[in-house]
Amino acid sequence: MFDDLETAEKKFKSNQAEVEAADTTWDDSTPKDTWGNYSATGRLGVVLAGVTFCILFFPFMHRPWGLPVATLCAYTVLVFSLAFRDENCSLDRTQVQEKLPLFAAMHLPFLLAVYGIVVEWTHLASEMPNWLTVRGRRGSLYEWILIAILCLVAWRQEHWMRVIVKRSVRGKISK
């Protein structure tokens, strides 16, 4: 039994050393923004955000808070699924786990901005010209402009989060 315990301790220490060695590298050798390098979460980030929006919006669409709540939750799912989409920014890395409270704190101002955009956007809809707000079977041009703006904000926040992780990983290499 003691031999098994010693073997298990050796395996644990060797696995821990491998994980720590893998945690201190940021692989820039191959382009990471290719479809094959994304995890399932990264590949399905937009779909997950859309499903989250639909699950929250349709039951509460007649409530005044339905659209903002659904949008904020879908935005959060989109940002975090894109930010942790490959092995460089995996949640398995200790540097990423250390930065999660920072990411949550950074996410709050973005959520406030998204909330402000959505609320003002819905109030301004009545002021817009008819050709911009007329609804077809796929929504109005006004709604698609809102979606594009929110996707750009999400992409910017995701990029910012990945830069922070990259700097922390490279900072640990140089120490």
Helices (H), the chain: 2-23, 40-43, 45-57, 66-83, 94-124, 130-133, 141-174
Q: At 119, list the tokens.
A: 């609320």
CA distance 167 to 29: 17
125 backbone φψ class: left, alpha, beta (φ>0; ψ -120 to 50) = alpha
Q: Tell me the pLDDT tens digit for each residue of 115-134.
A: 999 999 888 888 888 888 77
Q: Is the pTM of this model over 0.75?
A: no
More confident residue, 12 or 120: 120
Domain ranges of the chain: 41-174
- In sequence order, the β-bridge partners of residue 139 are 136
Burial readout 158-171 (b: 16 or more C-beta within 10 A, e: otherwise) = beebbebbeebbee
